[in-house]
With several copies, the nearest count.
Chain A
Amino acid sequence: MKQLNTSLGKLKLNSPVTVASGTFDLENLDFFGQDFLGAFICKTITRHSRIGNPPPRLYESEAGLINSIGLQNPGLDKFISDILPRLNAALNIPLVVSISGSSITEFAEIICRLEMESGISGYELNVSCPNVEKEGIAFGVHPEVVFELCKTLAPFTQKELIVKLSPNVTDIAAIAKAAEAGGASSIALINTLWGMAIDYKTGRSQIKMGVGGYSGIGIKPVALALTYKVAKAVKLPIIAMGGIYTWQDALEFLWAGASAIALGTANFIDPLAAPKVFAGLQDFLAEKKLGLQDIIGKCEV
């Protein structure tokens, strides 16, 4: 598997295939071995527990999934007491903890508390969840705030500091640059697009909250365009996601400039997506006698 080594800032990964926050948990590892994964990114944790959004929370459209989970999670304390020990016991790949907050102070509080724990290789700052009004989203759209956030948090940790960006913005490159200037060590993108579906018979929204987050194969062209734009704008490594189902999809993102990719909705479509993407990449590179470094960012227009 040597061939598929990659790195994400300070993190060395044994595989460019990782999993997107909120779409993968230890249960998935009942289906395949974790060595196919470069890292494990857990569901977003907030300072206090969040009950999440009212159901229905899911709707599958023609080409993807609309969700409205609303960052349901047990909160930082329960994460540390219950979840983290279980993750540490189970994992032998790097664990990245996804966190979100409603203020820079709250982010800082979470990171400082997590710094006291062992078994964490990095943080993913979720400033981009479209299902949380006036919280994550408010951060993700303002370059100045993202800059401040990273500048505040970077000194607290030596670990990988990933900022996860929203596609629902006018200029994602400006935000990526702000994250870079602020001291983030890599960029994750994209979180979900705004999405909605309505029952044509009754006029009722298929998602209780109305607008939800849209993911899956239908967003791939958008995710790829934004990956390409961000790769041109910053030097930071990128972990790309958005509609990656197959190893061919994964290659597109690597060519566009991603150092690693994450599978989100694909995990629901096929619980074996990760090993399949891994195997496909491995065969492709072997056949073409290429290494990942010959692909990453080498796209031609």
Chain B
Amino acid sequence: MKQNIPVRLDRRIYSREELCGEYFILWIWDDNLSRKCHPGQFFEIRAHASLLDAFDARSLPKLYKPISIYDNADGRIGFFIKKVGAGTSALAKLKAGDKLELIGPLGNGFNPVSNKRVLLLSGGIGYPPLWYLQKELINHNKIFWLHGGANQDDVFPCDEVWTMDGSFGKKGMVTEGLAPLILEKKINLVYSCGPIPMLKQAAKITRELGIRHYTSLEAYMACGIGVCHGCAVPIRTDTKEDIEAGTSIPQWDYLRVCKEGPVFNAEDVMWSML
């Protein structure tokens, strides 16, 4: 969970990969930047825009978009992106050689571990940060990767796939496969990333099984650097004993996904408030 001072850079897109469905990968090449990155961290990125566009009134520059580090090897950093709205559509139009604006690396990232039996759980666009994590963990841990998507366009290489429509792998919610696998594979640590309902369900399961579970959360962001408090999620910070009632009341605060996160201990997330 290291935090480097983020930088703001313009970088040429070194290459671009097309995947199924609405997915694509943009690669940049920057040895220095590459050395600063850790799994679970992300960048705020944007198709090159100028403030002066607003003056020219041709197009209004919009917010940067948070995108995880998908891969980081040999000085190349990959962003694995799904086109879902205006910001990601603008990114989807970029070609190799075009300029990308970047702020990062941002966020806390995953804690590296060793000698563990690790389960990775991803849903849809939760896949990219776990790929980078998996590469870092693979030599020192036993890893099993479970991934779920809506359909065959939302699945990527891993150990077990679930799709909602059954068009690839097992049919159903990926979390249905979680408890059996944890037991079967003797998992002692789960890392997850994906849509909130999936993470909520996964957190319930790991909690019941008493398994440590770190989860990477998403939030709408404005600054990405901890300034605006726009990306807040409710996180337990402490517990207070209620002597009279004989119970302990969770103390919580709105923490910033971009600064204290995106990775949180799943135990600490106030899931019922999300």
Contacts and interface: CB of A to CB of B under 8 A. Distances in A.
Tell me, yes or no, whether A and B come into direct contact in the complex with CB atoms closer than 8 A.
yes
A269 B151 CA distance: 35
Contact of B222 (A27, A246, A268): A268
Interface in B104-154: none
Contact of B230 (A25, A69, A276): A69
B51 A28 contact: no
Given A62-B60, A267-B223, A271-B103, A245 B55 contact: yes
A226 to B, nearest CB: 20
B227 A25 contact: yes
A67 B63 contact: no
Interface size of A as a range: 35 or more
B100 to A, nearest CB: 14
Given A51-B253, A52-B254, A271-B103, A58 B222 contact: yes
B97 to A, nearest CB: 22
A286 B83 CA distance: 26
Interface in A47-85: 51-52, 54-63, 65, 67, 69, 72
B186 interface: no
B17 to A, nearest CB: 28
A270 B227 contact: no
Contacts of B220: 55-59
A25 B51 contact: no
A266 interface: yes
Contacts of B5: 30
A248 interface: yes
B8 A268 contact: no
Contact of A246 (B52, B225, B228, B231): B52
A269 B61 contact: yes
B63 A65 contact: yes
B90 interface: no
B197 to A, nearest CB: 15
Given A58-B230, A60-B62, A249 B225 contact: no
A10 B49 CA distance: 38
Interface residues of B, number: 35
Contacts of B49: 269-270
Q: Which of A62, A63, A248 has the most chain B CB within a 10 Å cutoff? A: A62
Contacts of A270: 49, 51, 61
A72 B232 contact: yes
Given A52-B254, A60-B62, A62-B54, A67 B230 contact: yes
B219 A55 contact: yes
A209 to B, nearest CB: 12
Given A25-B227, A268-B63, A269-B63, A57 B54 contact: no
Given A58-B222, A58-B230, A269-B51, A51 B63 contact: no
B174 to A, nearest CB: 24
Contact of A217 (B60, B219, B229): B60
A179 interface: no
B221 A58 contact: yes
Contacts of B8: 31, 271-272
Contacts of B52: 246
A23 interface: yes
B228 A245 contact: no
B228 A69 contact: yes
Interface in B29-54: 49, 51-52, 54
A214 interface: no
A265 to B, nearest CB: 8
Q: Which of B61, B221, B230, B274 has the most chain A CB within a 10 Å cutoff? A: B230
Interface string B183-204: 0000000000000000000000
Given A59-B220, A62-B57, A65-B222, A273 B51 contact: yes
Interface in B49-88: 49, 51-52, 54-55, 57, 60-64
11 contacts: A22-B228, A31-B7, A52-B232, A60-B62, A62-B54, A217-B54, A217-B60, A266-B51, A268-B228, A271-B103, A271-B225
